[in-house]
Amino acid sequence: MNALIQKLERRARLLDEEKAFLADACQPPRKVSAGEDIIRPGDTPQASTLLIEGYTARYGTFDDGRRQLTALHIRGDFVDLHSFLLRTMDHGITALTPCTIAQVPHTTLKVITEQWPHLARVLWLDTLVDGAIHRQWLVSLGRRPALGRLAHLFCELSVRFSLVGLDDRCFSFPLTQSTVGDMLGLSTVHVNRVAQELRAEGVITWRGGRVQIEDWAGLTRIAEFDPMYLQLASDPV
């Protein structure tokens, strides 16, 4: 919850009573194993899930078992705040690593929208940023070369980790190259090749489940990264 509040307050100041209500809204945390689905397509969740630790991803699948990961979630992210209004989910959410999650019942979110309008707007803004991230992923898949796709992913994660108070230049990234390929629309072999290119350029080191950004300026140049879509300015809402 501290990570969520820190991220929200980067964009809009919360009152102490709003933070207290949000903290009390969460049910007790629980563990989720890597590979476990938190939500499956067709589910009708009665609560929205906050990721406390680990990595989760949204996904869509094909009849032959292939999948496309359409979003990556880190600590402090609501992985499905939109389920409050969508009701029936058109995609799944899976744990990519062992995770800790907590849930906020939709009945509580309804109270927030009715009795805490400012907090509701701040959470709405969070879903809008989530949509902006999704649009950037579409741009990457459609137009960025493979090298730029991987570079952009690392740039984005760096900024998102900084928003929740984590090290933004050296962070845990225990995902397989196959999983990264499912995000970027690349084969495992292609992911390996572009990762080696980024290392050869001296901009990142990716080994042992960790990413070290060695040259931020060089990485952003390769990615053509502009963080505007992450809405880093703090403005009243």
* Whether residue 85 sits in one domain with residue 9: yes
In angstroms, the Cα distances linking 54 to 2, 43, 68, 124 are 15, 22, 19, 23
CA 189 to chain centre: 25
**Is position 196 within any domain?**
yes
Picking from 117, 145, 172, the residue at the C-terminal end of a domain is: 117
CATH of the domain at 174: 1.10.10.10
CATH of the domain at 86: 2.60.120.10
Count the domains in the chain. 2
* Whether residue 80 sits in one domain with residue 12: yes
pLDDT (tens digit, 0 to 9) for every residue of the chain, 237 residues total? 889 999 999 999 999 999 999 999 999 999 999 999 999 999 999 999 999 999 999 999 888 878 899 999 999 999 999 999 998 999 999 999 999 999 999 999 999 999 999 999 999 999 999 999 999 999 999 999 999 999 999 999 999 999 998 888 999 999 999 999 999 999 999 999 999 999 999 999 999 999 999 999 999 999 999 999 999 887 777
Picking from 85, 117, 149, the residue at the C-terminal end of a domain is: 117
Closest CA to 191 of 209, 203, 178: 178
